[in-house]
């Protein structure tokens, strides 16, 4: 079958059209985040207390759909995976960044994406997170020369988890999918126990 994606890099349309499509997809993703309730810090923080694992379920599902879609289209000969941009790995600064993001998420309930969703619905706490984000960008930019060596440490380039684990991509996709299904079942059980629901599947926290 003929390759049809990434469409902008295969010259099916210009980069400008690709940017417009990316923006539309971004707005669509934000819309569904808001419809899932992720513009509320209470909804997001309920994840940490075991009362509502919607955050993990929705985001993990998004990752699964993207992963299965990418590799499925690649194996079907419809997508040229080498042209799909993947952030290069710098293991140590990215681990520290993940820790800092996790702390901020746990303390305030928002990540950058849900901050934008909160602001779009008029949440003032989301606006305070935006100011914090912009402040962090300013401090990082001004202090970059002091941390540049650390920022570029642990460079691994463009790498897939399957390459690190030395397993075929298809096998890893299958393992992650099975793990996700098991995790969803376990999280539902924990959520039901925390909310006092017995003998039936909870719907919307009821």
Give the pLDDT of residue 203. Answer: 46
From the CA atom positions of the chain, what is the Rg in Å?
20
Report which of 113, 109, 112 is spatially closest to residue 44, judged by C-alpha positions: 109
Q: How far apart are CA 139 and CA 136, in angstroms?
A: 5
Same-domain check for residues 108 and 122: yes
Could you read off the pLDDT of 7-33 as tens digits, one per residue?
A: 666 666 677 887 888 899 889 988 988
Domain that residue 111 falls in = 87-159
High-pLDDT (> 70) share of the chain, %? 89
pTM of the model: 0.74
Same-domain check for residues 138 and 191: no
Cβ atoms of 115 and 37 within 8 Å: the answer is no
Same-domain check for residues 81 and 174: yes
Give the pLDDT of residue 201. Answer: 46
How far is Cα of residue 187 from the mean position of the Cα atoms in its chain?
19
Same-domain check for residues 194 and 140: no
The winner for highest mean pLDDT among 29-33, 105-109, 194-198 is 29-33
Number of structural domains (the chain) is 2
């Amino acid at each position: 079958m003929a390759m049809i994606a990434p469409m902008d890099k295969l010259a099916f349309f210009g980069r400008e059209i690709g940017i417009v499509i990316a923006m539309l997809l971004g707005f669509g993703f934000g819309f569904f985040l808001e419809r899932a309730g992720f513009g509320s810090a209470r909804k997001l923080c309920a994840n940490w207390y075991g009362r509502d694992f919607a955050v993990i379920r929705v985001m993990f599902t998004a990752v699964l759909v993207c992963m299965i879609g990418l590799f499925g289209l690649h194996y079907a000969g419809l997508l040229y995976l080498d042209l799909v941009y993947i952030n290069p790995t710098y293991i140590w600064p990215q681990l520290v960044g993940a820790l800092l993001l996790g702390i901020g998420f746990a303390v305030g309930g928002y990540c950058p994406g849900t901050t934008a969703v909160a602001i779009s619905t008029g949440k003032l706490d989301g606006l305070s997170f935006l100011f914090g984000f912009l402040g962090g960008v300013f401090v990082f930019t001004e202090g970059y020369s002091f941390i540049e060596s650390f920022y570029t440490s642990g460079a691994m380039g463009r790498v897939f988890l399957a390459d690190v684990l030395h397993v075929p991509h298809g096998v890893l996709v299958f393992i992650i999918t099975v793990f996700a299904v098991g995790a969803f079942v376990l999280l539902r059980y924990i959520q039901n126990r925390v909310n006092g629901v017995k003998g039936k599947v909870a719907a919307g926290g009821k």
